[in-house]
Amino acid sequence: MSDTHALQELIANRKAGWSLDQRFYTDPDIYELELQKILFRNWFLAGHVSQIPNNGDFIVGKMDKESAIIVRGSDGTVKAFANVCRHRGSLICLNDSGSVRKFECPYHGWMYDIDGNLTAARSMPDEFDRSTHGLKPVSIEILAGMIFICFSENPPSLESAKKNLAEPFAMFGFENLKVAAKKTYPISANWKLAIENYQECYHCATAHPEYAKMHTLMLDDTKRDRIQGKMLERFAACGLKQIEIDHIDTAAPQGEQGYGYSRTAMFEGYKTGSRDGEAVAPLLGQLKDYDNGASDFSIGPFTFLLAYSDHVVGYVFTPVDALNCKCEIYWLVRDDAVAAKDYDVDELTWLWDVTTKADKEIIVNNWKGVQSRYYEPGPFSKMEDPESIYIDWIVRELAT
């Protein structure tokens, strides 16, 4: 399958409420269409301002073949530039992070200041104008301390997300967080399978005993509502407000990035997502006590945040190529928390490290099965509604 008509026929004939046809995962032309219509068009979390506190500090954000240098410039603001030399296209930053006074291309030595201006280029003609050969800017937004980038000159607006998520962000003090740990998990599978797995908890009870003993998402509505009610009774005393935001990608107005927020009760005896259910870091933001809940944020199609009362876990899924992807996880704590005194990194990261390692195996096995000649789409369960909604959105984006 390579012609446009055949692709559009595949997309149009997709059966709603069922998993995707094999070709959505294995056809290189589908992946190229995803790059154009989804992957390079939407925002994703590429870092946090706490990772680049000083002028000249940088990190690199990547999506498929594109990469961006995210740097704190000379005026203290955070900027993003394509990681591509304006001479003959070499990558400039070969490391994922660092601190510099200038950027030097490792190929021919062209130099750029931390504001992206070309400052030196040897043996060029007299008429060569350095001012027209600065690094190309990449779209960047700071959302409550989190750095989002998009490889499109006309990305969807984040203004509605900033406005409507401001109160939930304030409750957990997002403006005063720092990255305590970050891990990257390479996954040998198509990127959609990784996000599909994250979206549903149909597999949680059997695949994630550590997660299942403390979280209630796998319960039926009646049992979960009873536990939810007890959590809500504690909200006021704990400094929380009941807020539900369902403005996901499928419902976002034209030109806006989708987002959502909700809070779900954990089982009694679990204050947070930890080995023993006890606190692993100081309380966040405006919180006064533990309500035994966990909040889910979604911002765009690749970024998901889980806010406990004492730490935040950020999940980002991005493709490396058509057949491989990666999951990057950020663990954030209060910015005045001291490592080894207020939190232990191993205990802080334990739950979602063990869960993601298990998920990685699940996703890779799913990928192997999807590639079989015996694979065919199957119906979604009631517990896979978020995944079904996400897949519907992908298909609609590909059809436009």
Helices within the chain (DSSP H only): 4-12, 23-26, 28-34, 159-164, 166-171, 191-199, 204-207, 209-212, 221-238, 345-370, 385-399
Query: How far is 29 from 61, CA to CA, in rounded Å?
Result: 25
- What is the mean pLDDT for each group of 10 consecutive residues in the chain (400 residues)? 76 94 96 97 98 98 98 98 98 98 98 98 97 98 98 97 96 98 98 97 95 92 91 97 82 83 96 98 97 97 98 98 98 98 98 98 98 97 94 93
Q: What is the pLDDT of residue 220?
A: 84
Q: Please calculate the CA angle 197-201-206 and round it to the nearest 5 degrees.
A: 100
pLDDT of residue 213: 96
Class of domain 44-140: mainly beta
Residue with tokens 């990194």: 345
The third-level CATH classification (topology) of the domain covering 158-399 is: Naphthalene 1,2-dioxygenase Alpha Subunit; Chain A, domain 1 (3.90.380)
Q: Given this model, what pLDDT does residue 247 score?
A: 81
Predicted local confidence at residue 111, as pLDDT: 98
Retrieve residue 108's tokens: 């021919």
In the chain, where are the structural domains located? 44-140, 158-399
pTM score: 0.96
- Give the pLDDT score at 6: 84
Q: Specify the pLDDT at position 1.
A: 42
**For position 251, what pLDDT does the model report?**
55
